[in-house]
Amino acid sequence: MAYTRDQAIETHKDYSETLNNWEYYIRSYNGGYDYMIGQYLSRYNLELDNEFNQRLANTPCDNHCRNIIQIYSSFLFRVRPSRDFGSMEDEPSLESFLKDADLDGNNLNTVIKHAQNYASIYGHCFMILDKPNIQTETKAEELDQDIRPYVSIVTPENVLDWNFERQPNGKYELNYLKIREEVDRENGQYLRMWYPDRIDTVYMPDREEPQLVDTVPNMIGKIPAVILYNSKSHKRGIGQSDLTDIADLQKSIYNEYSEMEQLIRLTNHPSLVKTPSVNASAGAGAVIEMPDEMEPNLKPYLLQPSGASLTAIMDSINNKVESINRIAHTGAVRTTI
């Protein structure tokens, strides 16, 4: 079937409402440059762009979000998982799948750990089981070419649309899934549409109508995708992130670090107030030359704020760190002596 541009760009209403939160959570987890370009500092009134960018570059991110996620993951995977494969124990391709579950060199335990991390950050992620559409004549030929199922982890910002259908027994089953698989250098997108009866691959150029690249029948009759929830929310298909409140506290600490940096900079390097006719600079050892006829009221002077508020800011940061530990239930784990 042919797709219109409106069909290709259509997204789920919950996707549009939650996309900014997902971006915020993953930037909070990544920290560093990703966090800086998110521009989570509060901008001062009349602050110029270059001043704001310099303040962004000078403000460090104390990354509590990553630390919390890593602590959760270390507890969950402290004991190596054991699995009972039952009748599939002697399946020839099973060993190959366990060693390289995503066709990217990661074993199944590593893939599950990555999925759990993403679910903890975003609130949920999708895990899709797929198999290359390559026809072989015999099972031995398929094994020789390593043609087998593999698992893909799809993070929520790449799952553009989905739909659940209620079955006669009352269970909700996924009957439509649209995934963004790739963005090329011309900003065109490759989309994969999953249906119970077929799988369509669509290329959507930046300013042209979408093109149906490929369509193959879905031989299993259902969409082979599961949602790994961190914890379920009131919206079907949307999970609850572990960083919901922690990311906000981290952003508040980030802003207070900026205030500390500004206060220390102004305290150590006070501002020089002078008239245009005075020849002077504010650097160490500077010489100030004043005209002989200058009035005493126009004498240059230094503006230097008090550093007494530094202690209050540091106390505020410490209180927020304690709040993070309390919210995440990691007070005993993150306590340092």
SS3 for 191? strand
Crossing angle of the two packed helices 309-328 and 64-76, in degrees rounded to 10: 20
Q: Which residues contact 91 (CB under 8 A, 6 or more apart)?
A: 85
Longest dimension (CA), the chain: 103
Which residue type occupies 309? S
Q: Where are the domains of the chain?
A: 86-107+123-240, 246-334
Sign, CA torsion 6/7/8/13: positive
pTM to 2 decimals?
A: 0.86
CA gap 270, 307 in Å, rounded: 12
Q: Which two tokens stand for residue 317?
A: 């940061």
SS3 for 51? helix
- Hey, how many other C-beta atoms are within 10 angstroms of the C-beta on 120? 26
Q: Buried b / exposed e across 241-256, counting CB within 10 Å, b at 16+?
A: bbbeebbebbbbbbeb
- Hey, how many other C-beta atoms are within 10 angstroms of the C-beta on 84? 6
Q: Which two tokens stand for residue 313?
A: 């800011």
Q: Which two tokens stand for residue 129?
A: 């089981």
CA gap 23, 157 in Å, rounded: 8
CA gap 73, 113 in Å, rounded: 7
pLDDT string in tens for the chain (337-residue length): 688 888 888 999 999 999 999 999 999 999 999 999 999 999 999 899 999 999 999 999 999 999 999 999 999 999 888 888 888 887 888 888 899 999 999 999 999 999 999 999 999 999 999 888 777 777 777 777 778 889 999 999 999 999 999 999 999 999 999 999 999 888 889 999 999 999 999 999 988 899 999 999 998 899 999 999 999 999 999 999 999 999 999 999 999 999 998 888 777 667 777 777 777 776 665 667 777 777 777 777 666 666 668 889 999 999 999 999 999 999 888 865 4
Contact between residue 332 and residue 286 where contact means Cβ atoms under 8 Å apart = no
Contact between residue 156 and residue 24 where contact means Cβ atoms under 8 Å apart = no
